[in-house]
Structure 1
Amino acid sequence: MYRWIFVLLFLLTPSRCVTAELTAHVARGEAPYFVGIPVPLRIIVSGTDEQPEPKWRLVQPLPEGVTLTLDGMNPKVSSRVVIINGRTQVDERDTTYEVDFRLTSKATGLITIGPIEIEQGGNKVEVDVPSFRFNEVPADPDMLLEVELPQGPYYAGQRVPFTMTWGYAGELGRVRNLRFSSSLFDQFEFVDESARRREAVATFVSAKAEVEAKADRSKETREGREYELFTFQRVLLATTPGKFESDGVAADINYVTRFHRSLFGGSPRTAEAVLRRSLSAPIQFDVLPLPANAPKSFAGAVGTGFRVAVDVLGSSIVNVGDPVQLKFTVTGNGNVEEIGFPLLNGEHAFDSNHFRVSDSQLAGSVKGNSKEFVTQVRVADASVNQIPPIEYSWFDPTAGEYKTTQSEPRAISVGQAKVVSSADVVAPQTKVHDKTESSVAANDTTKSRAIETPDLTGADLSINLNESTLAIPARGRRNNVTIVMYALGIAAVAITSFGQTRRKAKSASNDSRAILKTAAANVIASANDRDLAELTRALRELLTLVDTPHRGNLENLLANLETQIYSPHSMDGKVAPSLADSAIEIAKAILR
């Protein structure tokens, strides 16, 4: 690659300014220029503002086989202050934009481009670009370059091994800056094994990036000449269907013709070097789209040897309606990073008569050559005794067909859940008095009200946080008793909260701190024991002692605990681990 030494061409590249505000000059890399080797080109624009970023365009189209690629626009801002008699008279800021390009030609001879127009905020300037003479890179008879690809065609999504072997039969100590370039490197994404600086022996050059690469080294004799061989392994990502042709891969080196030795000793340094090249054979292949007959359990996997495993995270003993957390692990040789997981509803996965599952796509995380997907399902039938086999399909490019595998079933134990309804909520019994006319009348009134009240037997008293459920409007007519009960409840909460706040404000700081510390310690102990009832009691006690900003967190946590208490799926009296951790975290935060 050329050194970034620019020659300013103020006289050779005059600019024609449409307005008087912008001026521009051109700088370019030093000659000679060679076919296929990008030439750095910079346009320096003066009189600009920092914003907006300038725009550019070619006034004339590029010659055939010539490409001009924008590398970036970099503003350079300088300030100038003039002080006269100790006072600041002038404070000026000048902005200059450096617009960097790479010019590449596939043809030899004199190449002329431009002019190039630069525009910012309605101000424009045209700059003429000097001509470039491109020459063929001299071939090096001591080099060989081979590219090996598996027999095609390939399929969209396939990962194709791309093996390159570069060899040298000459004096290897004179070789500098081995670089590989090809139009394929610009058309496709490649996966390369990362190389530390000391391991890197070559650079893959593309329009997007330059990647340092390491190689396996060996020796081999071919046609009576001994070659030092370097084998590079890449993976080509065949993402887009189509027919692709390339002139091959070019290997360029700087061959040192003369060394320079320092007067102080040390290793000799390069004094003069010439550019030399070797070309591989042309490359062409087809990338086909995937067949249309994909099974429902297909989620984009392309490769070989895929398999799927299912694991139950947490307890495998549940009640009907309880969530069961599952982890699906997909392993295989192929595009593991890009694969998804098929929807869990359908014949290939969970039967809707026995399970309730999410109908959204699962997000996964890559670990090596595997990808993990975590989700929850709910058991809807007490007769279920296992997580059924789950199908997973992939496309095998070597066989040219879809293949399907299944996970192993996972045993679970499902118990019948008891739903707590309004019929289970009772009031304390009162003393039995002698029946009087007034009590009989009261009983008659109660009976008449009971007739008017909707039958709530079988209602689920757990707090449901599902948005779709909460969006359903309540059915039936709301009577005055219900409204009054809600109003009294809200008023009671408000009055209680106000009274607690006043009591805390009056307590002495030392006594309050001791009581608060004891209450927080009780919360931590109950959370560690995962005792649902005891933790709820301790949190209610702590709630009466704290002030904002912790009240909101405590109230939310208590609401979640009460949801678990009244939920028909929480029968073991144990706090969920996440809620226990939240309680400990809040208690510790209060003590800080």
Structure 2
Amino acid sequence: MKLIATGKQILLFLIFLFTASVLSAQGLSLTAELSDDQVWLGDSVQLMLYLQGSEEAISPELNIPGVNVEPLGGTVRSSRSVTSINGKVTEDIRKAYVCSYRLTPTSPGRIVIPSIEVNVEGQTLKSSQAVLAVREPAASDDFSLELEFDRNAVYIDERVYLKIGFFYGQSLRTLELSIPGLEGLNYESMPVDDERERYEILINGNPVIFGRDDKGNFAGLSALISIRPEMAGQILLQRSTASFESVSGYKRVQDFFGRIQNQEVYSRTVIPGNTTVVDVLPFPKFDQPEDFFGLSGDIDIDVVVTPQEVHIGDPITLTLNINKMNNPDVAIPPLGRYLGGGIDIPDTRASAAINGSTKTITQTIRISEDWVTEIPTITFPYFDPDAEKYKNASSAAVPLTVLETKIVTSAELEGVSQTGDPTGKVLLERKKEGIYHNYTGKKLLQDSIPVIERLQSSFLIKFLLLVPPAAFIAVLILTRIRPHIRRRASARIDKHRDLRKLKKQWKKVDFSNVHDVLKLFNRQVSVYLERWGLPDDDKLIHVLEALEAAVYGRVEIEPLQAQELTAEILILLDEGVKDAE
């Protein structure tokens, strides 16, 4: 019989190991969920990946055809719970990590999101597929979205303005615009006139200020966007949409006073915008100067040189301002090719400063030849898009006065001439009046003890010096420290009194109605802890968690167990008060 019992124990142990291994293998899982399985074209949905059983950060790269994917990051979503059954406290910890993505479909129809694969703790996890239905927006008689460029063609770096107008004949809320093709462009929103009402509308998730702009029988909003194209080709804006909530009906509701009223019912609406395009032309090859480096606009140049009266080798600060540039980010070549000979220019220069359409370059130069009489004209070729031809922008020459350089010999530095005669030496002279500081006669030492030393040797002076700090310390003790000590002593007495009162109250309590009694006890203990704080005792914290589980978890607990639990909490509180002293 003993062998059979031992065999059963071994069998149970093997079953336990197998079950534990199965649970361990099933502990990790990956789930993919969409915030909505239907979306309007131009709207977005969120895809969330739930990793169960681990807190390891995951962020797989997603490539879904027909969808723009934007990672939104991830966070730990672990949970911890404590339960108490028949006095046995069990702690349950569930590890989880969630990462999310914003999905924006670029075409209507049915989109299948494939299974997503990640590697976590040496295991390969796969999520199930998801299906997203993308609906085509439909035109509406009550709403319209209009896009319009101010011209049909521009050159590279030439500003083009896009006017965006939204017009509506019904009330709406939560308006957002989606304009595919605008994300990768260099654009900025233009200011709105002060006399117009202003509204902040999201375009592709970015806030843009709109102004009130009514049109006929429709209320309207409009914004002006400045775009600086950086590459030749086309700027094609199509499949733009306006997404908002509009009134789709009414429902009868009863207010607080019992009156029946009609309440507006809002539903999601998406309407399409028109397609608009502008051609971006490259710089013409015809008549393009050989030294053209991409400068365009209505350029003018000015040069400031300080100082203008220098010796050879003296540092000179040259400030070059290039104004009215279409693209201030254009790199300016080294200035050595424009200044000519007789001027030394370092290979490096300070970073350029940009202020609006003006670029400022600061360069330190030095004159190396005495025949240099000016900073020559600096000429840059540029393209004028309004005139559609190349021009030159030139600065005015800046005159310089190069002074004769005096050579100082080493003999002159030593104060003698080439023949050895003194040249401008300044010799020390004996003063005929005043104090002789090197006099050491006996009369000089008589009555020469400093006043401070004489005062320091006086007992009366020492006593008078000690009186103010002693008085200050006494006042400090009487006004600050003593009341604090009294308050601490009073608080200690009050803490003991409250605990004695609590213990006396719960010395003889009927635990027949266990749940209500524990609920009352939990409330009184909470009031005590809120006033006096929770002692740093892990055992007390553990028992308090068991009390909360019994109160709020509706755990079945016997009256005797409840009585033992309350008694243990009171004992631990008493020990915590004594330890704090």
Normalised by the shorter chain, which TM-score bucket?
0.5 to 0.7
Q: What is residue 446 of structure 2 aligned with on the other side?
A: none
- Aligned in 2, Cα 1:312/1:418: closer, same or farther, shift over 3 Å? same
What's the offset of the Cα at 1:428? 5.3
> Distance between the aligned counterparts of 2:256 and 2:300, measured in 1?
65
Q: Distance in 2 between matches of 1:31 and 1:212?
A: 27
How far apart in 1 are the matches of 2:45 and 2:396?
59
Question: SS of the residue aligned with 1:112?
Answer: strand
- 1:217–1:363: structure 2 CA closer, same or farther, 3 Å change rule? same
Is the alpha carbon distance of 1:250 and 1:429 closer, same or farther for their aligned partners in structure 2, counting shifts above 3 Å? closer
Query: Which residue of 60, 63, 83 corresponds with 1:55?
Result: 60
Native 8 Å contact 2:137 2:272 kept in 1? no
Q: 1:305 aligns with which of 292, 298, 306?
A: 298
Structure 2 residue aligned with 1:23: 29
**Paired amino acid for 2:50:** I
Instruction: Give me the whole-angstrom Cα distance separating, in 2, the residues matched to 1:113 and 1:378.
Output: 66
For 1:279, the equivalent position in structure 2 comes to 272
Q: Which amino acid aligns with 2:242?
A: A
TM-score (norm 2): 0.57
Structure 1 partner of 2:346: 358
CA contact (8 A) 1:395 1:402 kept: yes
> Amino acid of the residue matched to residue 119 of structure 1?
N
Q: For structure 1, which segment, 323-332 or 271-280, has the greater mean C-alpha deviation from structure 2 after superposition?
A: 271-280
Aligned residue for 2:181, secondary structure, equals: helix
Q: What displacement does 1:21 show?
A: 5.5
Q: Distance in 2 between matches of 1:273 and 1:54?
A: 36
Secondary structure of 1:238's aligned partner: coil
Per-residue deviation at 1:46? Answer: 2.3
In the TM superposition, what is the alpha-carbon distance from 1:234 to its structure 2 partner?
0.9
Q: In angstroms, what is the RMSD of aligned CA positions?
A: 4.0
**Aligned residue in 2 for 1:97:** 97
Q: How does 1:62-73 map to 2 (within 5 A)?
A: 62=64, 66-73=66-73
Which residue of the partner structure matches residue 356 of structure 2? 368
Kindly provide the amino acid, as one letter, of the partner of residue 145 in structure 2: L
Structure 2 equivalent of residue 377 of structure 1: 365
Aligned length: 386
| Structure 2 residue identity aligned to 1:307 | D
Task: Tell me the CA shift for residue 244 of structure 1.
Answer: 4.8
Distance 2:117 2:404 in 1: 77
Match among 36, 59, 62 for residue 42 of structure 2: 36
Contact preservation (8 Å) 1:68, 1:104: yes
Matches within 5 A, 1:218-297: 218-221=213-216, 226-257=217-248, 272-291=265-284, 295=289
Gaps of 5+ in 2: 1-22, 421-451, 453-581
Amino acid across the alignment from 1:364: A
User: TM-score, normalised to structure 1's length?
Assistant: 0.56
Write the mapping of 1:367-406 to structure 2, written as runs, cut at 5 A. 367-406=355-394
The answer (yes or no) to whether the contact 2:345–2:364 under 8 Å persists in 1 is: yes
Cα distance in 1 for residues equivalent to 2:114 and 2:378: 61
Instruction: Work out the CA distance in 2 between the residues paired with 1:178 and 1:389.
Output: 56
Alpha-carbon separation, structure 1, partners of 2:81 and 2:218: 64
- Give the C-alpha shift of residue 127 in structure 1: 0.7
- CA drift at 1:385: 3.5
In 1, distance between residues paired with 2:131 and 2:181? 28
Change (3 A) 1:274 1:159: same
Contact 2:32–2:47 under 8 Å retained in 1: yes
- 2:183 maps to 186
Change over 3 Å in CA distance of 1:402–1:274 after alignment to 2 = farther
CA contact (8 A) 2:312 2:370 kept: yes
- Amino acid across the alignment from 1:111: I
Contact kept in structure 2, 1:144 and 1:166, CA below 8 Å = yes
| Aligned residues of 1:138 and 1:276 also touching (Cα < 8 A) | no
Query: Equivalences for 1:68-79 in 2 at 5 Å?
Result: 68-76=68-76, 78=78
Runs of 4 or more, structure 1, over 6 Å off, are 81-84, 89-94, 259-262, 429-432
Is the 1:333–1:369 Cα contact (8 Å) retained in structure 2?
A: yes
Would the aligned equivalents of 1:78 and 1:94 in 2 still touch at CA under 8 Å? yes
The correspondence of residues 540-579 of structure 1 with structure 2, limited to 5 A, is: none
Partner of 2:316: 324
Against the structure 1 CA distance between its residues 22 and 238, is the aligned structure 2 distance closer, same or farther, given a 3 Å change threshold?
farther
Give the match's secondary structure for 1:176: strand
By how many angstroms is 1:18 displaced?
Answer: 13
Q: Could you say which residue in structure 1 is the equivalent of 2:209?
A: 214
Provide, for residues 264-292 of structure 1, a one-character-per-residue CA deviation record: whole Å limited to 9, x for no partner: 9xxx9996322334433323344344456
Q: Distance in 2 between matches of 1:332 and 1:149?
A: 23
Q: Write the deviation string for residues 483-520 of structure 1: whole angstroms up to 9, x where unpaired.
A: xxxxxxxxxxxxxxxxxxxxxxxxxxx9xxxxxxxxxx
Check whether the contact 1:255–1:273 (CA below 8 A) recurs between aligned residues: yes
Amino acid in the other structure paired with 2:40 = F
Q: 1:96 to 1:83 in 2, by over 3 A?
A: closer
Could you tell me how far 1:299 is from its partner in structure 2? 4.7
Which has more radius of gyration? 2
- Distance (whole Å) between structure 1 residues aligned to residue 417 and residue 408 of structure 2: 20
Report the Cα offset of residue 67 of structure 1. 0.8
Query: Is the alpha carbon distance of 1:428 and 1:187 closer, same or farther for their aligned partners in structure 2, counting shifts above 3 Å?
Result: closer
User: CA-to-partner distance for each residue in 1:430-467, whole Å, 9 max, x for gaps?
Assistant: 999xxxxxxxxxxxxxxxxxxxxxxxxxxxxxxxxxxx
Out of 374, 398, 417, which is 2:405 matched to?
417
Provide the rounded CA distance (Å) in 1 between the counterparts of 2:317 and 2:279: 43
Equivalent residues in 2 for 1:378-527, closer than 5 Å: 378-420=366-408
CA distance in 1, matches of 2:336, 2:91: 69
| 1:467-486 deviation per Cα after TM superposition (whole angstroms, max 9, x unaligned) | xxxxxxxxxxxxxxxxxxxx
Unaligned runs of 5+ in 1: 1-16, 433-509, 511-592
Quote the offset at 1:392 in angstroms.
2.9
Query: Are the structure 2 counterparts of residues 153 and 368 from structure 1 closer, same or farther at C-alpha, using a change threshold of 3 Å?
Result: closer
The equivalent position to 1:177 in structure 2, one of 162, 174, 178, is 174
Partner of 2:536: none
| SS in structure 1 of the partner of residue 139 of structure 2 | coil
The equivalent of 1:499 in structure 2 is: none
**Letter paired with 1:329:** N
Higher relative contact order, structure no. (Cα contacts within 8 Å, ≥ 6 residues apart): 2
In 2, Cα distance between the equivalents of 1:262 and 1:396?
68
What is the DSSP-based 3-state SS (H/G/I as helix, E as strand, rest coil) of the residue aligned with 2:359?
strand
* Cα distance, 1:399 vs structure 2: 3.7
Q: Is the 8 A contact 1:19 1:123 kept in 2?
A: no
2-structure distance, mates of 1:95, 1:395: 63
Task: State the identity as a percent.
Answer: 20
- DSSP 3-state at the match of 1:416: coil
Q: Which of 23, 44, 51 is residue 45 of structure 1 equivalent to? A: 51
Give the 3 Å change call, closer, same or farther, for CA 276–82 of structure 1 in structure 2: closer
AA in 2 matched with 1:190: Y
Asked whether 1:341 is paired with 2:341, we answer no
- Tell me by how many angstroms 1:413 deviates: 2.3
Name the CA shift for 1:297/1:279 in 2 (closer, same or farther; >3 Å).
same
